[in-house]
Amino acid sequence: MFYLIVRNLGAPRCIDRNNKDVYEDGMSFDCTPHLECSAKEFVKEVEIICTEHPEDPIIAMVFRD
Amino acid sequence: MKKLSLLLSGILLLLFVSACTSVKRFKSATYKSQDNTLVDMDLFGSRLTMEGTELSDRNLWELSASAQTQLIQILNERYPDNGQFIRSLNNEYLSRADVAAFDLTEKKLRMVFTISKKRDYKILNHASGRFSPADRIEYLKFSLEIPEKYNLQFKEWNRYATEYGEIEIADMSFSRSFDLDVDGSWATKSDVCGKSSFSRSEAQEVRSRYLKLNGSISDHKIGVEEEGTREIDLTGNVIADVSLEFKGFPERLTIPLYTGESKDGTGGATVAALRFVDVLVPRMKDAPDTIHAVLQLDYIYRHVQSGWKTYQEWDDQVEYYSGTVKKEIALFTKRDYIPNFYGIGTEIGGKTMMKVRRGTGTDYLLQFKDYPDASRFLEWLRSISEDGSISGERRNSGLGVPVMIGKNLLLVNGEPVNMEQLVKTELKVIPLY
């Protein structure tokens, strides 16, 4: 399982998960959910857009279990 | 003939006095050198506050008079009993959830800067000394720059004040001068962004110009240029009020909606539903303890070579020194910009926060606007876990039933939590940041 995690004000938040690594730069996500994730291995960084505040892209991290 | 010569003498004297006071500012002037030790500048204090209005509870007493009258008549028909009637008036009929969203990224910042001269009385009468009591800071230009890494930018000036006057500004830049009326009251002349300029010279009042000011603002930098004209020393405190804006990051707050009392009339307020409100908080990957900025001051120091032996400025032998001060200053702390959101969770075996699964199947953190909101909700959770009821309705299936509020399911460690688990889990209110 792959997890998409954003970090704000020092607090990590898992906002999406998927069986495949579908995450790429420029993708849009709802950044408000807090999903349960067992992120263990860092995969990559991607620049995503929070749909609630699309003006400024944000760096997110992709992890896998 | 004698009268004519007296008249001419008088005119010449007037011209001489006028020339001395309004034009000539020194007997001789030379630029000596750069000396960065003569003037210092520091941020004496700062205060960061939120812009706009905060959310607040509303009840019937905030309605208009006519609306109050109509509602009271309706409620009186429903609640003829005095006690019930009074309690119903205090219900929160309108909740914070009526507000669609609010923004915690816009802040107001007040900064008090102190500008000081080096007063070295030990070298007062030394020929090589660079201090005399008649010295003054004639010109200064300072800037404050916030590093881009903080995702923080200046929006606009609000106010700028020195000991010679105060100006209210609401724009990107300003250019003003402080004058003193003959009656001693302060007046300003302004030219804001070239959009408007006005002058009060039509009033034909005699004024002497004291201070000239220019200010500018860009995303990450503010700048102020001050020139003190005749005998005006720029030493002292200045206050600068600006608006700031962080880049935003979305959060979803939980708003419990309470009914006035339980349906059986024996308990306290119960949660009838959960609403959710989207807010924007400052976007920063980490939360540094202190936000720093770079303060730079360039100044011109007017040293009177003759020291004490001066009456008016026009008889001074002046030596000018230039200087630069550059330093990193602490602008404000984490406590000032972090939202005061609270959640409910436990810290036994690691920090675990309660979440809520909405009807759509998506999980969100159960987070509240402030401590009282979270504390009230936790109190309600404890009360239902003690008597096994939600909204006053006793559940027949007992303590093993997952706690649901409307279509929202409460979660601990990602799993639905029941009343038995609520009792066992030592829940408490925990700050989120």
Which residue in the set B283, B355, B413 is minimally distant from A8, CB to CB? B283
Q: Is the pLDDT of residue A63 over 90?
A: yes
CA distances to B119, B266, B267 from B75, rounded to whole Å, are 74, 21, 21
- What is each CA distance from B357 to B40, B243, B328, B360, in whole angstroms? 57, 38, 46, 8
End-to-end alpha carbon distance in chain B: 90
What are the structure tokens assigned to B122, written together?
């030990």
Q: What is the pLDDT of residue B371?
A: 94
Chain segment B177-187, per-residue pLDDT in tens: 655 443 444 44
pLDDT at position A4 over 70: yes
Identity of the residue in B247, B282, B363 whose CB atom sits nearest the CB atom of A34: B363
pLDDT given at position B206: 34
Beta bridge partners of A44: A62
For an interface test with A, give the residue of B103, B149, B254, B283 to mutate (most A CBs within 10 A).
B283
Residues of chain B positioned with their CB less than 8 A from the CB of A10: 285-287, 433
pLDDT at position B375, please?
Answer: 93
Which pLDDT belongs to residue B183?
43
Structure tokens at B102: 């609010």
Residue B142 is predicted with a pLDDT of: 92
Element (H, E) at B7: helix B2-22
Is the ipTM of this structure higher than 0.85? yes
Residue B409 CA, chain-centre distance (Å), reads 39
Q: Does B106 touch chain A (CB under 8 A)?
A: no
pLDDT at B54 (0 to 100) = 53
Q: For chain B, which residues score pLDDT lower than 50?
A: 53, 94-100, 180-208, 263, 391-392, 394-397
Angle between helices B65-78 and B82-89 (to 10 degrees): 140
Residue of A nearest to B151 (CA): A56
Contact A58 B249 (CB under 8 A): yes
Per-residue pLDDT tens digits for A8-39: 999 999 999 999 999 999 999 999 999 998 88
| Prediction pTM value | 0.73
Residue B187, pLDDT score: 47
Contact status, residue B111 vs residue B239, Cβ threshold 8 Å: yes
> Any chain B CB within 8 A of the CB of A43?
no
Residue B423 pLDDT: 77
